[in-house]
Chains A and B, each alone.
Chain A
Amino acid sequence: GAGVSQSPSNKVTEKGKDVELRCDPISGHTALYWYRQSLGQGLEFLIYFQGNSAPDKSGLPSDRFSAERTGGSVSTLTIQRTQQEDSAVYLCASSLVMGMTYNEQFFGPGTRLTVL
């Protein structure tokens, strides 16, 4: 079956503009994660969804960042008033959730965001 898909693959925007990044998880995966990969900070966790709710959003760096998930499937990460430091690769992952078992996270190819 299809893996995790993300769109767009590349996004170039001007400082101050809003951007939306999309993630389509693997069908049937109830957990969805957003991470950010940047040169200075490595791979950082942003937010975790279980179904449509986000029990852990501790990694969102500022209130300019928000995310939602609808229908227990597609998720959108929105960055408002983008800054140059937001330039990074944004990775989405999904996994099954079975009780307390820790399940493998499957990653998408990422969206490379460049803020000019």
Chain B
Amino acid sequence: AQSVTQPDIHITVSEGASLELRCNYSYGATPYLFWYVQSPGQGLQLLLKYFSGDTLVQGIKGFEAEFKRSQSSFNLRKPSVHWSDAAEYFCAVGAKGRRALTFGSGTRLQVQP
């Protein structure tokens, strides 16, 4: 069965600083990888996804993520964080033949002015 680990429960960055949120997955084949963001009281919004091809994927709101098979990682990055990026971020993995997503435990991002 697949699993997802987000090692950082809570991260605080200053506005304008760069950001990297870590995600490691466990799955025997090439996974389908996703990053979702959840603002307080809101549902989950898809930031980006990786299915195949170019390992660096661009998403909405200036986010990008890089798939590294050798490290089983799919870290989320943003060059310059805005106060509105404060939210909880979830990494998720989908497996071929199974439609359900397996989510990591989430990373809560706080942005300092």
Contact = CB atoms under 8 A, between A and B. Distances in A.
Given A42-B105, A42-B106, A102-B51, A56 B100 contact: yes
Say whether chain B's binding surface is mostly helix, strand, loop, or mixed. Answer: strand
Contacts of B96: 100, 102
Contact of A109 (B42, B90, B104): B42
B106 A43 contact: yes
Interface in B75-113: 90, 92, 94, 96, 98-106
A113 interface: no
Nearest to A50: B99
B99 A33 contact: yes
Say whether chain A's binding surface is mostly helix, strand, loop, or mixed. Answer: strand
A93 to B, nearest CB: 8
A91 B106 contact: no
A31 interface: yes
A79 B42 CA distance: 23
Interface string A52-78: 000010110000000000000000000
Contacts of A91: 43-44
B11 interface: no
Contacts of B100: 33, 45, 48, 56, 58-59
B43 A109 contact: yes
Interface of B: 32, 36, 41-46, 49, 51, 90, 92, 94, 96, 98-106
Please name the 4 residue pairs, one residue from A and one from B, whose CB atoms are nearest each other, closest first.
A43-B103, A107-B43, A45-B100, A107-B44
Interface of A: 4, 31, 33, 35, 42-45, 48, 50, 56, 58-59, 91, 93, 95, 97, 100, 102, 104-110
